[in-house]
Structure 1
Amino acid sequence: MKFLVTGVAGFIGYHTAVRLLDRGDEVVGVDNINGYYDPALKKARLAKLGGREGFSFLHLDIADRAPMNELFRVQRFDKVIHLAAQAGVRYGSENPSAYIDSNIVGTQNVLEGCRHNGVQHLVYASSSSVYGANAKLPFSTHDNVDHPVSLYAATKKANELAAHAYAHLYRLPVTGLRFFTVYGPFGRPDMAYFSFTRKILAGEPIEVFNNGHHARDFTYIDDIVEGIVRTADRIAEPDPNWNAVLPDPASSNAPYRLYNIGNNNSVGLMDFIAAIEKATGREAKKVFLPMQPGDVAKTYADIDDLARDVGFRPSTPLAEGIGRFVDWYRSYYGV
């Protein structure tokens, strides 16, 4: 199959491209290599992909309509995995326009490209952040998510709504995946586990928000990628049991599906830090701080639908995943 992977220089995009190439698919990757975090890391990921047979790369911003239209017209993709986005919850308070340009305008351009060029299936990245002020745990795709607490979350919810409209109007098969805190080798430096590891190894204090009372459903990158690829292989179809009187947000009478991908396990922040301390062999110096704007206290994914429909449950233990990340970090940065 011929895949478009947007955000291919990103953490999840890079690993997804590797997985597709390993099984013999052709991958065209696009990325604008922006400066939200160190572009050198993105270029290093691309360098590892550059020598692979079946891979090609275009330096392209998905928010630029004309080049995106041309990309779809010329390349004629079988399937699209849309992972490009302006990431980060707290950054939305500083630069909201970046989220509108990338997450709203960019996703619209992807939807239009798929609509007009016979794409068989679009799989796109949503986020656990859409659950916002919801307190019911575990988070379920069958519950409404109408109270985002960050602009990032609001744009991801908007993506879900736009995707459903395209599935309904144009019968474009679309599947959304709500990722829960993803970690692993070649990860994002703006994520807590990355900065914790860097600071612990450097002997610097780490900032522990919400006074250490956060809990997250940490999901190892290989599990996320396996879920993405298996979902891409299972083209979304209308749900024959969907009821317009009691509408289920996770499915539709259109070819539309929505899944959580998480480890189905919520880990306390202090336990998470302890795992990094064990993997590094060093104790962290901790500075406890209050909850930050846009944060949520706890995440926990209900993944029963994913297991039922695509036959997969993330299962990498936290200690194993953190150990692999710390090993990569030491090797990559020469620590």
Structure 2
Amino acid sequence: MDISVVIPLLNEEESLNELHDWIAKVMQSNRYSYEILFIDDGSTDSSWKVIETLSKKNTAVKGIKFQKNYGKSQALNAGFKEVEGDVVITMDADLQDSPEEIPELYNLITKDGFDLISGWKKKRYDSKIRKNIPSKLFNAAARKTSGLKLHDFNCGLKAYKKEVVKNIDVNGEMHRYIPVLAKNAGFNKIDEKVVAHQARKYGVTKFGMDRFINGFLDLITIWFLSTFGKSPMHLFGLLGTIMFIVGCTFAFYLGIDKLFFNPTGRLITDRPQFYISLVTMIIGTQFFLAGFLGEIMLRTKSGTKRYTISNKINL
């Protein structure tokens, strides 16, 4: 199979028919073999019924329905497990991503040999306050921490080699940083392409302030995991060592001062340096314990179920 199109969605009943017809038209005009995989992330409207109807009309349509809303990352993770195409295209279901971009994205993967191509919505039609400004902040921070010089990490329109999506684990809200996950997995041929962005035709954006906060927290998480994920003791052990040395230095100073320079002076416990010494040694010990626990968890962790699928179509 040439192409798998993965589309996570939440309450997009109005746009699904139009999006399907648009994708099918592009695929047929380019003679691609394809599948369209819709992942219904707990919609409360009739999105799933629309997907069922589309699957009867077109056997290339497949679907996964979550029991409840688990988030875009979990939806992509479920879709990536099922895809069969040599090239995987992800896009949003709100018609703001254009299927007309698919042939060029496909060629960049198959002919130019890229592992991942990320869309860049250079001209946007979103609210500047709600999405544009937060996106600029996200992207600047992601470039700084990851070393990837992409302008739009969070663009839903991306193309991947099949091997990429089969070797990355998208969880939490890490869908924003999939290029970083791919780079950490050893896929280094990553680039971007300017893509068309269209104004939302139906419904309202799902972007809220919670996503703004969670995005930055996830960026910190992905930085930590990419730097210290394989050996948390390298971070916590270093911090613990520094804190313990600081505490021991104060304790040594207090002991020498009491024994040789001020034997009849005030008690050690009456001096603030004593408490600095005590607290820093305790914190240093706790950092060491955190590092040990992290190493133990890393070596004993097992796969955990992050979402519940209530139904599937053609899978």
TM-score, normalised by the number of residues in structure 1: 0.30
Q: Normalized per residue, which structure has more helix?
A: 2
Higher relative contact order (CA 8 A, sep 6+): 2
